[in-house]
């Protein structure tokens, strides 16, 4: 006997019995309910699922046409058979156009069971097709989510932004009441929320191995807790007091064999265990772990790069101090002109990489003097014409020394051009006006200022008022007027 759930729209109890007997003769064992009003049918459709609806055409307070409309408007895919002796052919055709699967006259009930079996098979086939289509759509949505996370990973190394996109995708597929990503700090062995949504109260750090979150991270195994089966989980009310959670899924976020964190979703309603859902949550967690690993790797590279840059700059500063000692200048000259160059450049709106290159150029402004013999560099008296040719070559020496080093090429303007003059009378190229790089124009003024403001073996420092008069007198010939204006304003401040 095949069991079926039958909803019968019939006002005659005798006719209902005849129908049931026919079904039993045909090998069907119905669980049934008989309704004869619109209200009763509405309740019946709400209260339980049905495999089949058999309806008479005309009832005192109801009818087959209205029953069919109610069934179709409910959205339920349940076969509807019209079994009646009081209907003409036109009405039967109209009913079938409206969605009825078949019309069986009451005086020809031997057709009923074959029609029922056929329609149940058709309904089963439709149900399977819908399931297959829904599964395809669900997998497509999952692929789209994985792709969205992948785009977030490749498009940004901002971990906070990537995790927000990541959590949005988790929310879209699981519709939890709360969710969060807990990031592992390997030094303190704690997990801390990097992004969270839906919680009534803030929840902070969790020790590795502590409660649900720490256990998932420590054991590197997914955990699913669903009411009423909490045997393997501590009570959620104790883990998350004041939240009212009834179900939980947590999965470890693993990348390259290392635990990066834990992805968790919480529900405030009882749910059945969903192995397929847990598997997809694990797939999402893997993508999230890749995002965390990429961001941490980038942060590590940035840290290493900052350390390398500091090492480079320390080397340059040491190199500059060594040049000062050889030139018998005061040890602080290079640091002073470098700081003053940076201040003036900032006052003129220069920042970022350009400012950094100016700083390095200022540190190395006299690097070309390495190629000047001591007899000329340290000569106590004035230089002759031939010696001046050699001394002035220190700017072209700087170009030869620094240009092979890619890291130092952007800072060549000052070592190579700081003896150029605004009116074109400088060296090595006789550049004029804005042909001279801005960094060199800035440093030229700073270098003269510091030289005159400092004691030298052959003279004492000039008073500031005298230096100011000297600088103003060289504006438009030696110095760029705009640079001089900015410098004088900065000094007055």
DSSP 53-97: EEE-SB-SS-BHHHHHHHHHHHT----EEEEESS--HHHHHHHHH
pLDDT, mean of residues 74-83: 91
Closest CA to 261 of 288, 299, 280: 288
User: Which ranges of 328-437 would DSSP assign to H, the alpha helix?
Assistant: 333-347, 352-363, 374-377, 385-392, 394-402, 413-417
Least confident of 167-181, 201-215, 267-281, 473-487: 267-281
pLDDT at 274 over 80: no
Contact 69, 44 (CB under 8 A): no
Residue 74 CB contacts under 8 Å (≥ 6 apart), including other chains: 45
> Beta strand pairing status for 28-35 and 2-9?
parallel
How far apart are the C-alpha atoms of 249 and 166, rounded to whole Å? 16
Q: In this predicted model, what pLDDT tens digit does every residue of 384-436 receive, in sequence order? A: 888 888 889 889 988 888 888 787 888 899 999 999 999 999 999 999 999 99
What's the confidence (pLDDT) of residue 265? 92
What's the confidence (pLDDT) of residue 477? 94
Token representation of residue 295:
């961001």
Task: Report the Cα 45 to chain-centroid distance in Å.
Answer: 46
Q: With bands split at pLDDT 50, 70 and 90, how would you rate the model's confidence at 289?
A: confident
How far apart are the C-alpha atoms of 181 and 288, rounded to whole Å? 9
Going through 67-172 in order, the beta strands assigned E by DSSP cover: 80-84, 102-105
Contact 182, 194 (CB under 8 A): yes
Domains of the chain: 2-125 (3.40.50.2300), 156-299 (3.30.450.40), 328-492 (1.10.3210.10)
pLDDT, mean of residues 424-453: 93
pLDDT, mean of residues 21-38: 91
Least confident of 12-16, 170-174, 176-180: 170-174
How far apart are the C-alpha atoms of 311 and 303, rounded to whole Å? 12
pTM: 0.48
Going through 199-327 in order, the beta strands assigned E by DSSP cover: 206-207, 223-226, 247-255, 258-267
């Amino acid at each position: 006997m095949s069991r079926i759930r039958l909803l019968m729209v019939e006002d005659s109890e005798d006719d209902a019995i005849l129908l049931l007997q026919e079904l039993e003769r045909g090998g069907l064992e119905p669980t049934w309910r008989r309704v004869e009003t619109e209200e009763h049918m509405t309740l019946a459709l709400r209260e339980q699922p049905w495999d089949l609806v058999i309806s008479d055409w005309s009832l005192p307070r109801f009818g087959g046409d209205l029953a069919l409309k109610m069934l179709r408007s409910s959205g339920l895919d349940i076969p509807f058979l019209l079994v009646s002796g009081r209907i003409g052919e036109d009405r039967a055709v109209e009913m079938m156009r409206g969605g009825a699967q078949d019309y069986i006259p009451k005086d020809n009930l031997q057709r009923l069971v074959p029609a029922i079996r056929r329609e149940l098979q058709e309904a089963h086939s439709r149900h399977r097709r819908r399931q297959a289509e829904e599964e395809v759509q669900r997998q497509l949505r999952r692929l789209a989510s994985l792709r969205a996370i992948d785009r977030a990973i490749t498009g940004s190394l901002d971990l906070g932004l990537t995790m927000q996109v990541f959590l949005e995708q988790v929310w879209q597929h699981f519709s939890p009441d709360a969710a969060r990503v807990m990031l592992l700090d390997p030094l303190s062995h704690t997990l801390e929320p990097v992004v969270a949504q839906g919680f009534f109260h803030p929840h902070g750090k969790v020790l590795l191995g502590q409660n649900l979150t720490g256990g998932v991270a420590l054991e590197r195994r997914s955990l699913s807790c669903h009411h009423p089966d909490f045997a393997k989980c501590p009570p959620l009310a104790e883990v998350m007091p004041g939240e009212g959670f009834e179900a939980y899924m947590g999965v470890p976020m693993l990348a390259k064999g290392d635990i990066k964190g834990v992805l968790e979703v919480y529900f405030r309603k009882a749910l059945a265990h969903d192995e397929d859902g847990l598997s997809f949550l694990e797939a999402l967690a893997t993508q999230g772990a890749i995002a965390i690993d990429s961001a941490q790797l980038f942060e590590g590279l940035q840290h290493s790069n900052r350390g390398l840059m500091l090492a480079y700059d320390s080397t340059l500063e040491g190199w500059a101090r060594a040049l000062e000692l050889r030139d018998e200048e005061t040890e602080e000259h290079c640091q002073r002109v470098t700081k003053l160059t940076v201040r003036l450049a900032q006052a003129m709106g220069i920042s970022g990489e350009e400012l950094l290159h100016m700083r390095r150029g200022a540190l190395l402004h006299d690097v070309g003097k390495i190629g000047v013999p001591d007899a000329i560099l340290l000569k106590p008296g004035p230089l002759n014409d031939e010696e001046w040719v050699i001394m002035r070559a220190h700017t072209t020496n700087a170009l030869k020394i620094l240009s092979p080093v890619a890291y130092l090429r952007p800072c060549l303007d000052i070592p190579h051009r700081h003896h150029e003059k605004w009116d074109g009378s400088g060296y090595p190229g006789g550049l004029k006006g804005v042909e001279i790089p801005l960094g060199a124009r800035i440093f030229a003024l700073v270098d003269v200022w510091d030289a005159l403001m400092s004691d030298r073996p052959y003279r004492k420092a000039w008073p500031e008022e005298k230096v100011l008069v000297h600088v103003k007198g060289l504006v438009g010939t030696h110095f760029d007027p705009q640079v001089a204006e900015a410098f004088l304003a900065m000094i007055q401040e």
